[in-house]
Structure formats: C-alpha cells, structure tokens
Structure 1
Amino acid sequence: MTAAPIRTLTRRRTLTAGESGSLWAASPSCGILEFRGTRLRLTVDDPAEVLFPTDCGLSLIAALDGGEGPDLKGVNALDIGSGSGLYSVALLAAGAERVTALDINPASAAQTAANVVANGLDTTRLTCVTSPLAEYTPDERFDLVITNPPHLPHDPSYARADGLETALVARRGGRAVYDDVVERMDALLAPGGTLLMAHSSLSDIPRTVAELTARGYESDTLEIFEMDIPLLAYAEHMDTMLSLLKERRAAGRAEFDGTRFTVHALMFRRPWDAPHR
C-alpha cells in the first residue's frame, strides 16, 4: 500500500511574537476556548505540577476546530500525555464515547478529572492511567489516539523533577516520546483508526512521517502554526537549550529561525488491512 504524502499547500497561522497563549480567549490561569460548537474552560491548580496548555498543544485543537480531521462522535480515544486534560475534555465534549487519559505525571489524573467535571462532562466516560507510554498495555486498541509529545532536548544543567519537565523536555534530543508513539502505535491503534499529533519542528518531523509511512500509515497535515520556542520557563538556561537545538538543526533534525519554530497538526490513518504487530 502506498501512503499518501503530506500536503504541500497547507494553511499556515503565524502567532504574534512575544505573546503567550495567543490561541486562548483567556490566559494564563484559566483558558477559555470553543471547540466544535461547545465553549470549554481549562484550569490548572498548580502550574509547577501540571503545565498549563501552551499554544503548541492548543494548535491541534485549533486545527481540528476548522472542520478538518475525523468525526469524533462515538470514538474510543487514547490521550497520550494528557496533562491538564485539554484533549480529553475536547474529545468528550465533541461526543467521544470513551477517553483514556494517559500520563506519566500522577498529578495529571486529578487535574484532567477536575477539568472534565468543571465542564459538566460525564466522568464515567473517562479513565485516567498513570504510566510511561512504553509500559502501557491496554486490553483493547483505540479508534483514535491524540498526543502533543514533549519536544525540548534534555540537559542535566536544567533538568528538574516536576510536571513542567515531563510536559516539555524529553531525552534523545526531545524525541523520546515521539519514538515511543511510533513504536507503540500498531499495538494501540485499531486498523482504520486515526492518530492526531501536534508535532514540533524542533523534533524532526520528517523522521516521524517517514517511519509511520513505512508502516503503511497515510499522512496528512491539517495546519501549520508558527510561534515562539517556549524558552521563558528555562530563561536561565536559554543559551544551553538554544545551543542544543542549533546542533540538531545543523544535523538536519530540527527547523527553527531565531527563537521561532513551527508546530504541524498531523493526521495519520492506519489502513484497514494493517497487520497486527
């Protein structure tokens, strides 16, 4: 089976430089957005434990709200790296039958559940799981998987053991979770299912697309967003992080201009005749 290439003529949004949360109607302690006709409200009780959703993660929601992407009604979905529950809340509000919110951070489960309750959604349709993706072995495969993996490169000088670290920074040059998603997708996504991903240009988009295409997945780009690299949380170590990113860019594994990068809202479809791995 020949996988469809990513479209070259894709809508591109440029977010204003130097402004945080420009896709939110309100920020930063409370985010308000409308998704497929429903007004939603997201809060984070402790931003040091659970990252308030950034424009990187919100970009995928914005792309899906524009009429692109799959029908979400009735799907059984997996939210990888659920964080505050942005995607879980949006999916449930759009009519998903069930959502499993997976995150390595224990504080994520409570925050996700709280945001589901705050939006008047049915908590019996939500399951929260605390586990690394590599160790997660569900009893079923999902119709839809959605994720915004951490994408900044790890360095001991700014490593920290909190929710901000798990949400933004990943080993293997920022690709650890992307690699795990690719490796586990055949076991997690049912034939005919859809993977939705907010993919940072700092973490080698062509590699992810090539590896999933080699597995037979059809790929598409819903939208591209240009925005600031999230360096404010690492202001003391900005030079170190930018140096690491420049090394990756020189090796052809990252794309950015100054402190601006892009996030691609990607959609991958697994063929119906895909073998079980």
Structure 2
Amino acid sequence: MTSAPGLHQPPTRRRVLPAGESGSLWAARPSCGIFAFRGTRLQVMVEDPLEVLFPTDCGLSLLSALDGPGTPMLEGVNALDIGSGSGLYSIALLAAGAERVTALDVNPASATQTAANVAANGLDGARLTCVTSPLEEYVPDERFDLVITNPPHLPYDPSYARGDGLETALVARRGGRAVYDTVVDRVDGLLAPGGSLLMAHSSLADVPRTVTELTSRGYESETLAVFEMDIPLLAYAEHRETLQTRLKELRAEGRAEFDGSRFTVHALWFRRPSGSARC
C-alpha cells in the first residue's frame, strides 16, 4: 500500500474469494448477473460473451470496494468509464447519481450492450454517451471529475490471439500493461484538477509501477481493498500452459505477483491535486 507523503492510510481490507462460483461477488450470475451497489439492485446482461465479456469478479471487486464508507462521492460527477465493456461501471455510476457518464471502448459491440443495460435498469440514457475509440486516439471535449477503469491484464501471446471482444477485454501487450500504461500517460489530460481515478488493478500487471508513476506526479494514492481470486484461465483453457509460462516469466522479472492459480486485484483510488495544471 503506497501513498503520497502526508496522506493517512487506513489498514487495507483484504477479501479472499473462494475458488469456484460459490465465492463470486455476484448475487446471481446466470445469463444476467445481479449485484447491489449503494443500496440499488442492478443487473448486467451480455448478448454474446465472445463479443462482450461478461463482467468478472476482477471488475466487480472495485464496485465492492466502493460500496462502503470513506469512498469517493459519486453523486453529480461527470465520469469517464474507460474500457466500458458491458457497461458495469456506467450502470453503477448512473444509479449512484452521476450527472453524466461517457462509456469509452475500442469494441463497437460495447456501445450497444452498454446502452441496452442502462435502459434495462431503468436509468436515464440521456445521461450516457457511448464512444467507440482506442484510448490513445480519444479527444474529449472536457475533463472529467472521475475516471474509472478495469484494464485488460493478461499478457499477449501469438498462440492464443483471438481478435475478438474477449481478447480486447482480457489480453494486452507489454506484458498485460498496455492499457494501464496508456491510462497513466493520459490521465492528466482526462482528469480535472481535484478529480479521482478509480482502478481495478491486477497483481499480474505490476501494481507498484502504476502507484509509483502516479504518486511521483503528485497524485494521492489509497488502496481501498485487496481481493484474492482465481486467475481467469477458463477462457484460455486450450492455451493454459502457455499463458502460465508467460505469467511466470513476468513474475521472475518482478512484474507480476501470484501464487499458483491465485492472484489479487487492488481497488485503487488516485486523487489529483486541485492545483495541478499538468497536461
């Protein structure tokens, strides 16, 4: 757990999710997952799980960490959901009172699924804007009060390249850090002074590096919670050995932390100083 000088850090909560579905953070997860966030019962549906990933516990863990005292205020914020996928975070933010949410994803199917899920939850679609674009090319009209993201975190290998929505959601180049690095590089231009970056950060993708890079630029850092769970290998069962070999290589380089088939997800809260003018 790392923080900027002078920032008080409470003890980090750690939650161990048992192996298998019985330990899931979902209240129910058939074809339509059900979860509660800040007193509201919400649901997420995915029409084609090969085009848009059904949200995993990795992504849901950040919402679980935000569902309690001492967490960021969401009412009235203008938020950017990076890698929105099925719209899990967009739904939660709108239900919690966000004024506006921009759902950004490189996958065109994400926009359709996110809008459908917002409507299915009875939320105001006029407060949602869906944008299909790589993060590197996205040029917003304004800066946001809040940026939230759960980047892909599995390392790329040509042997299991799929070129579909599942790969977009789970696999990234640069040892699984490609989207993390882009978020870190671009966050100053996306986040308003005094704003917050919320991130579900996998231990497979070098948590200390992200924390060090942002705190060195003056961001306050807080770990809201740490969740232990299974590495999502089921979708890559045929290439399990190759994927595990790549992960072991990253661990040997000090760029990944895991134990057997278990890893951790860190719910991180970065706060940009109010007086920051960096761009």
TM range (shorter): over 0.9
> SS where residue 186 of structure 1 aligns?
helix
1:32 matches 2:34: yes
- In the alignment, which of 113, 116, 128 is matched to residue 114 of structure 1? 116
1:85 matches 2:87: yes
1:231 matches 2:251: no
- The alpha-carbon deviation at position 194 of structure 1 amounts to 0.3
- 2:130 is matched with which residue? 128
- The alpha-carbon deviation at position 232 of structure 1 amounts to 0.4
- In the alignment, which of 22, 25, 32 is matched to residue 24 of structure 2? 22
**Preserved contact between residue 188 and residue 278 of structure 2 (Cα < 8 Å):** yes
Counterpart-to-counterpart distance in 1, 2:240 and 2:86: 25
- 2:268 is matched with which residue? 266
**Preserved contact between residue 4 and residue 218 of structure 1 (Cα < 8 Å):** no
Q: Which amino acid aligns with 1:88?
A: S
**Preserved contact between residue 219 and residue 269 of structure 1 (Cα < 8 Å):** yes
5+ residue gaps, structure 1, are none
- 1:95 is matched with which residue? 97
CA distance 1:112–1:155, shift in 2 (3 Å):
same
Counterpart-to-counterpart distance in 1, 2:186 and 2:62: 21
Cα deviation, 1:124-176, whole Å, max 9, x if unaligned, reads: 00000000001101010000000000000000000001110000000000000
- 1:198 is matched with which residue? 200
CA distance 1:252–1:34, shift in 2 (3 Å):
same
- 1:160 is matched with which residue? 162
- 1:51 is matched with which residue? 53
- 1:215 is matched with which residue? 217
The normalised TM-score by structure 1 is: 0.97
- In the alignment, which of 102, 106, 125 is matched to residue 104 of structure 1? 106
1:254 matches 2:268: no
- 1:169 is matched with which residue? 171
- 2:149 is matched with which residue? 147
- The alpha-carbon deviation at position 17 of structure 1 amounts to 1.1
> SS where residue 211 of structure 1 aligns?
helix
Cα deviation, 1:193-242, whole Å, max 9, x if unaligned, reads: 00000000000000000000111100000000000000000001001001
**Preserved contact between residue 91 and residue 99 of structure 1 (Cα < 8 Å):** yes
CA distance 1:241–1:225, shift in 2 (3 Å):
same
CA distance 1:135–1:21, shift in 2 (3 Å):
farther
**Preserved contact between residue 230 and residue 262 of structure 2 (Cα < 8 Å):** yes
- The alpha-carbon deviation at position 6 of structure 1 amounts to 8.7
1:240 matches 2:250: no
- The alpha-carbon deviation at position 20 of structure 1 amounts to 7.0
- After superposing on structure 2, the runs of 4+ consecutive aligned residues of structure 1 that deviate more than 2 Å are 2-9, 18-21
**Preserved contact between residue 3 and residue 216 of structure 1 (Cα < 8 Å):** no
- The alpha-carbon deviation at position 18 of structure 1 amounts to 2.8
Counterpart-to-counterpart distance in 2, 1:17 and 1:123: 37
CA distance 1:28–1:203, shift in 2 (3 Å):
farther
- The alpha-carbon deviation at position 66 of structure 1 amounts to 2.1
5+ residue gaps, structure 2, are none
CA distance 1:20–1:238, shift in 2 (3 Å):
farther
Cα deviation, 1:52-86, whole Å, max 9, x if unaligned, reads: 00000000000001224211000000000000000
- The alpha-carbon deviation at position 276 of structure 1 amounts to 2.9
- The alpha-carbon deviation at position 28 of structure 1 amounts to 3.6
Q: Which amino acid aligns with 2:127?
A: R
Counterpart-to-counterpart distance in 2, 1:253 and 1:173: 8
Identity %: 77
CA distance 1:77–1:179, shift in 2 (3 Å):
same
Counterpart-to-counterpart distance in 2, 1:235 and 1:7: 39
Counterpart-to-counterpart distance in 1, 2:232 and 2:22: 9
